[in-house]
Amino acid sequence: MTLRRLTQLLQTLEQIRDAAGTDNEEGGVFSLSLTRQPIRFFDRPSIQQGPIARNVPPMQTLNNKLGKAAAQIIPYAFPEYKTGLFLEQWAKAASIAIGHEDNHYVSADQFNISNIGEELAVSLGSFGLLHIDPFDDCTRLSVSFFLQNTPPTHFPGRFHVTGTRVTYTAAYLSALVFSCSEPHFGIPPQPYAISLPLDSPLKYQYPRSLPPQTDCPYNEEQRLVLVLWPEKDVMRPKSHMIHPEFSEAIALRSLGTMRNPKEYNMRTAIKDAYERGEDLRTADYWCEEFSWIGDNGQREWPRRWIASLCIVLDSRTRNGTDSTKLWIVSLLAAVFPIRWVAD
């Protein structure tokens, strides 16, 4: 999955705006999959699908592509996230991840849209100002895809992560992997001085291998940024916080594939059995318990290594290993320099 192919999915943008009740000239922040509602009552689920995921059928395809992209780009930038403590954290906490079963990294996504020449605070509100995302899992990373094809008369804008003093040029079809728990903000595309010629060396030059595309919808009118991030309460969910619709087919609009919710349900069942003090069952038992009939009419099973990993982690805890050590070490391991990758 390349960043170039993500632009093909912008054809769903009008449907996204219709579901959100906005027109094509308006900017805003559009949540594309799961949302975390404020908990006003302890008996009300707070983790559920947003209205866009419920009402726009193509969101299953879009979230599936984004889940695959996150599963490739985050471990590419930070290989240590693919195995070890971070994989164990995903398994033991029964994290809910969007789009694809190989995505162990992000649990929510959103479209940030603003008009060229408009201050981000006008269209994005507080998301356009210097801010920290307090509900993000601080042990994990986020990724932003910059999709606008800025006209040659404008500089593409920047993205700043002030806590680590990183300044990043938000170029077309590029991506930034960073921690949203650090203070950050964006600067929209800005016009160059009229006196500068189009071929001026003072202007930002795209790589020769990536010529600007002119057939991308909305490509020169608006700043388009896709943000994927790890919502803390979704990466470490409590059973009472999950909306019942996650057991229904409509949940695939956010989760992408049938294997993803089946393996999530299996990890949750193993975690619940451990918390109830039940005897640990075999990996084969859990895989058979959560098997399903696929689209091809054949029976499919969750991946056995996931069940085995969950059982091993619970067994370690029962034998006296302090489960909080996993979180403490993960917090320490998450303090590293930020790197960025671009297609």
3-state per-residue secondary structure call for the chain: CCHHHHHHHHHHHHHHHHHHCCCCCCCEEEECCEEECCCCCCCCCCEEECHHHHHCCCHHHHHHHHHHHHHHHHHHHCHHHCCCHHHHHHHHCCCCCCCCCCCCCCCEEEEEEEECCCCHHHHHHHHHCCECCCCECCCCCEEEEECCCCCCCEECCEEEEHHHCEEEECCCCEEEEECCCCCEEEECCEECCCCCCCCCCCCCCCCCCCCCCCCCCCCCCEEEEEEEECEHHHHCCCHHHECHHHHCHHHHHHHCCCHHHHHHHHHHHHHHHHHCCCCCCCHHHHHHHCCEECCCCCEECCCHHHHHHHHHHHHHHHCCCCCHHHHHHHHHHCCCCCCEEEC
79 compared with 332, residue with greater pLDDT: 79
Ramachandran assignment for 199, one of left (phi > 0), alpha (psi -120 to 50 degrees), beta (any other): alpha
Q: Collect all residues with Cβ–Cβ distance below 8 Å to 101 and sequence separation of at least 6.
A: 257, 259, 260, 263, 303
Range in 47-61, 179-193, 241-255 with the lowest mean pLDDT: 241-255
Task: Express each pLDDT in 69-87 by its tens digit.
Answer: 999 999 998 888 887 888 8
For residue 77, the Cα-to-chain-centroid distance in whole angstroms is 15
What pLDDT is stored for residue 233 in this prediction?
Answer: 87
The region of weakest confidence among 8-12, 73-77, 239-243, 339-343 is 339-343
What is the C-alpha separation between 192 and 178, in angstroms, rounded? 28
pLDDT in tens, 197-234: 888 888 887 777 665 555 554 455 778 889 999 998 89
For residue 11, is pLDDT > 50? yes
Rounded mean pLDDT of 85-98? 90
Q: How far apart are the C-alpha atoms of 223 and 146, rounded to whole Å? A: 8
* More confident site: 122 or 107: 107
CB burial of residue 150 (10 Å; 0-12, 13-18, 19+): buried
Name the burial class of residue 312, with classes exposed (0-12), middle (13-18) and buried (19+) by CB atoms within 10 angstroms of its CB: middle
186 vs 218: which has the higher pLDDT: 186
Tell me the mean pLDDT in the region 48-67: 88
Burial class (CB within 10 angstroms; exposed 0-12, middle 13-18, buried 19+) of 265: middle
Whether residue 331 is predicted with pLDDT greater than 50 in this model: the reply is no
When the pLDDT of each residue in the chain is averaged and rounded to a whole number, the result is: 80
Place 314 in a pLDDT band, splitting at 50, 70 and 90. Answer: confident
Going by pLDDT thresholds of 50, 70 and 90, the confidence category of residue 7 is: low
For residue 332, pLDDT over 50 is answered with no
Q: Which two tokens stand for residue 202?
A: 């003072």
Residue 322 — pLDDT band, cuts 50, 70, 90? Answer: very low
The residue that leads in pLDDT, 216 or 296, is: 296
Q: Is residue 304 very low, low, confident or very high in pLDDT (cuts 50, 70, 90)?
A: very high
**Domains assigned to the chain:** 3-235+331-337 (3.60.130)
pLDDT score, position 36: 80
Among the residue ranges 201-210, 247-256, 266-275, 277-286, the one predicted with the least confidence is 201-210
For the chain, how long is the longest CA-to-CA vector? Answer: 75
pLDDT-derived band of residue 338, with 50, 70 and 90 as boundaries? very low
Taking the C-alpha atoms of residue 5 and residue 228, their distance in angstroms, rounded to an integer, is 17
